[in-house]
Amino acid sequence: MRARPLSLIQDDLVDYDKAMERMVELVGQRQRDERPDTLWLLSHPSVYTVGRRTPVEHLPDPSHGIPVAETGRGGQLTYHGPGQLVGYLIVKLEESEGIVDYVREVELRLVDALGALGLPAERRDTPPGSELLTGVWTAETGRKIVSIGMRQSRGVTSHGFALNVDGNLEPWQWAVACGMPDVDMTSLKRELGAATLDQVRPVVATAFEASYGYGGAPPYP
């Protein structure tokens, strides 16, 4: 992978709708070259987000009380909640680079981060005719630990990844995640016995070459 230093923004819990409004602002600034490539690390209160291809039968039972938000990213249903590290990537692609190319890079950088945290992980190629295997999986147990859904507009990426760290995994079982009814979602805490967001954030930032020193910005209120 080539060097691609990013500006880092970090927050704690940010409401999903407010985060989407802010992300649109960041994308517009990057399209106008008013800010550098950016990684925004944060978490969301409990919410399911659905992509444009999510079937109705994959949605959760509303009796659980977790809201469902429509989103413009690629991919299908995913879950966000406390204890999950979300990374939004606002990156200007090169002319020869497509969104699929960048998603592969994101997968590999997260594989590196998980390895640095002591968890061997891998990306997977999608067999012909199968549901997309975008994301990152544990190498030893074969469970999915990172979900990825991205898009590009006028050459700039948006949305990003969700890495399960130490949050509640039960909401994943109340819907069909990633279009795969049999997927076993996991977390760093489940695989390693212990993990915290404070431990994981700097490792992920390092894997993406992200720092405040590169045009960094203060947290978003």
| 59-70 confidence digits (pLDDT tens) | 888 889 999 998
Q: Is the pLDDT of residue 120 over 50?
A: yes
Task: Average the pLDDT over each of 73-82, 110-119, 169-178, 209-218 and give the range with the smallest value.
Answer: 209-218
pLDDT at 129 over 80: no
Annotated catalytic residues are 178
The band of 127, judged by pLDDT with boundaries at 50, 70 and 90, is low
**Does position 103 have pLDDT exceeding 60, yes or no?**
yes
Mean pLDDT of the chain, nearest integer: 90
pTM for this predicted structure: 0.92
Q: Which of residues 103 and 55 earns the better pLDDT score? A: 103
Q: What is the reported pLDDT for 197?
A: 97
Name the burial class of residue 131, with classes exposed (0-12), middle (13-18) and buried (19+) by CB atoms within 10 angstroms of its CB: middle
pLDDT of residue 118: 97
pLDDT band at 157; cut points 50, 70, 90: very high
User: What letter represents residue 220's amino acid?
Assistant: Y
The average pLDDT across 34-50 equals 96
What does the DSSP 8-state code read for residue 221? -
Instruction: Please name each of the domains of the chain with its CATH number.
Output: 6-211 (3.30.930.10)
220 pLDDT above the threshold of 60: no
Task: pLDDT band for 221, please (50, 70, 90 cuts).
Answer: very low
pLDDT at 131: 59
- Flag whether pLDDT at 216 surpasses 60: no
Are 131 and 179 in contact by the 8 Å Cβ rule? The answer is: yes
- Helix or strand holding residue 197 (H, E): helix 197-207
